[in-house]
């Protein structure tokens, strides 16, 4: 596999991961400002920091893959099979992790564990 082909697949995986995780971070950031039950707050903080870790973990791979794709970095034109498998497996795991966290967030949002603030607003 050529290095540009590999960089393309890796960029797609890393950007897809950032896409899903950005939704979670944006929504969680907004929800953290409302008064909520302690157990729910702990869950939301954990989810927020897990999403933040995945987001930050994608920055360096995106930069490296972007440089490889758009600029001649002096790396060999062909990539060894073990490097391809290793790189793709990391990108796939990051993408799936981001998707699963997004799914977990959606499942949590579908349960009726809403914030105390939202609950008081509904009872008015």
Out of 18-22, 40-44, 109-113, 117-121, pick the least confident: 117-121
Q: Domain segments of the chain: what residues?
A: 3-117
Region 8-37 average pLDDT: 84
What confidence score (pLDDT) does residue 3 get? 79
Per-residue pLDDT tens over the stretch 60-82: 888 888 888 788 767 777 878 88
- By the 8 A CB rule, do 121 and 43 touch? no
Region 82-106 average pLDDT: 86
Q: Is a pLDDT exceeding 60 seen at residue 38?
A: yes
**Which of 75, 31, 73, 24 minimizes the C-alpha distance to 53?**
24
How high is the mean pLDDT of the chain?
79
The token duo for 66 is: 């972007």
Residue with tokens 């939202």: 118
């Amino acid at each position: 596999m050529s290095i540009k082909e590999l960089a393309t697949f890796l960029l797609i995986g890393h950007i897809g991961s950032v896409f899903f995780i950005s939704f979670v971070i944006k929504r969680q950031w907004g929800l953290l400002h409302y008064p909520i039950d302690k157990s729910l707050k702990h869950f939301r903080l954990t989810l927020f920091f897990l999403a933040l870790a995945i987001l930050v973990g994608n920055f360096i791979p995106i930069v490296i893959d972007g440089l490889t794709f758009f600029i001649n970095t002096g790396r060999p034109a062909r990539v060894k099979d073990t490097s391809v498998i290793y790189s793709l497996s990391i990108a796939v795991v990051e993408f799936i992790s981001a998707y699963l966290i997004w799914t977990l967030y959606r499942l949590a949002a579908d349960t009726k564990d809403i914030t105390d603030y939202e609950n008081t607003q509904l009872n008015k």
